[in-house]
Amino acid sequence: MHVIVKSTLLSHPNVKKTTRVPLETGATVQTLLQVPGITTEAHLFIINGRVSQLSDPLQDGDQVGIFPALVGG
């Protein structure tokens, strides 16, 4: 299966801000974070427009947003 990842945190030099990532069936957000080039510095995960957790399963074709913690004052 494949998911579409959108993030400013993609660290691999050949990866654009949006990339298609192959995963095994049954993969979770946590599994996605183990893919080379996907950073673990993220604190907010959105699957198909909904906030998700690390344990949430991914489905073929899901759009996954990965974002850093927001700070400011």
CB 68, CB 46: distance < 8 Å: no
Q: How many domains does the chain have?
A: 1
Check pLDDT > 80 for residue 13: no
Do the domain assignments include residue 73?
Answer: no
Do the domain assignments include residue 27?
Answer: yes
Segment 26-60, tens digit of pLDDT: 999 999 989 887 776 777 899 999 999 999 999 99
Do the domain assignments include residue 42?
Answer: yes
Residue 23, classed as helix, strand or coil, is: coil
Q: Which domain range does residue 10 map to?
A: 2-67
List the CATH number of the domain containing 61: 3.10.20.30
Do the domain assignments include residue 17?
Answer: yes
CB 4, CB 62: distance < 8 Å: yes
Do the domain assignments include residue 60?
Answer: yes
Residue 55, classed as helix, strand or coil, is: coil
pTM for the full predicted model: 0.80
